[in-house]
Structure 1
């Protein structure tokens, strides 16, 4: 295995080259990857005084018959940067080594063992589905509940109260009087002339509006309805 040390915009002392050879021990790297061809170590220096704490940068590139693996780090001096970059390289080599080992027959992991060996991986339930898939399936299940006499699917509208009142038909003047009496801005009543449900409501100052509902046996449920007309 060849180790090539080069500098980019900086000189590399012979002492540092020897330190690289000692730090990147051949037997340790080949134990993790026996197909290593070469190691390139590039040293560069940032001359900006504001970046003095990470002025020296070391990049290590490992080439083998497998994928190219790189690790880089910056520190206040090249030796510290080399230590950090070497640690990252060894961690990535170890991860790649364990990945290859887990694919072999003796080292193959079962589906149940994968979550314990690989942090953050999704766990499977007894049906072979992940927790996220199980949650999504539960969310698509529509439940039907009764809110008074109203059948609600899913969460539906929140009906907190339902009341039924016996109402004697009255005139518009009587409805206005009843509305002022209870202090509301609208009043629902049965018109004594039309015998149909009607609503009288307050507009501005002493102006009032009235809505009459007429039963239409041919009207479908897609109509706009009168509920949105209040306050118009």
Structure 2
């Protein structure tokens, strides 16, 4: 299993790298098929966020769904411990699912709220999107201090049930996917309490990954 450690706004000391490899080396028994683990350490320079100055993101890649855990703390070793704890919990969930073939129940009909359109943001320059799966690109939005980060993911068609499962594994409040039954781009997300929502786009993705409008014309 390959472990890749990189830093954003910070340097990675050999001692910290060794600590990462030691802790993650113990997860192989929970993820025997894992081929690569990406660890990203981000240092927040804003002194007002000193209690969360160090952020760790751990991503496990294998033949199954991507599993990710994030955590922040005032020091990087504390953040690492928190992130590894979350990761172990999610890896155990994957193992138990494979053993018991447990499935999430899809949200019942009528629980998908209407979506209000967000106001458009005027910008002078659009950041160029990434071109390879897994690649991320950051760029400043025009003359503003806003940083836009874009990331490209592979879009394997799946059911709503599987999308909910993978959303929980990466610890995100939403998950984008292609519905294997309808071919529509969709997003599942957390609602208040223990309910979920699904947003669907009224388009169809062809085998060549071209998006068509409802009339069958290129969007």
TM-score of the superposed pair, with normalisation by structure 1: 0.43
User: Structure 1 or 2: larger helix share?
Assistant: 1
TM-score of the superposed pair, with normalisation by structure 2: 0.45
Bigger relative CO (Cα 8 Å, ≥ 6 apart): 2
Question: Which structure: larger Rg?
Answer: 1
